Amino acid sequence: MACAWFKFNPPGVPPNPATNPLSYTIFLSTPRFVTGSPTVAYIYATIQIISGVQRPVIPAVSPKGYVTVSEINTAILTQTSSVNCYVS
């Protein structure tokens, strides 16, 4: 599966904006590592097409190497970036 970095677009799309694929747009580069905030900045995820737009797949559990709902929630709660979820 194809994967890419996605940028979070605050305030996001409710409910649960941080885990809603519609809150993200594809980021065509590798973002600079950031950490230390409860706000999602970027996630690394597999790509799906929703209404002709590339959006991330954000499953509850996933094979290693892609972001999951629990990884996003942990990064927000601890205000610490992970390999697949940068918070800033």
In this predicted model, what pLDDT tens digit does every residue of 31-76 receive, in sequence order? 999 999 999 999 999 999 999 999 999 998 766 778 999 999 999 9
What predicted TM-score, i.e. pTM, was given to this entire model? 0.93
**What's residue 30's pLDDT?**
95
Enumerate residues 6+ apart whose C-beta is below 8 A from 75.
40, 81, 82, 85, 86, 87
Q: How large is the average pLDDT for residues 8-23?
A: 96
Distance CA 79, CA 73 (A): 10
**What's residue 61's pLDDT?**
78
**What's residue 62's pLDDT?**
67
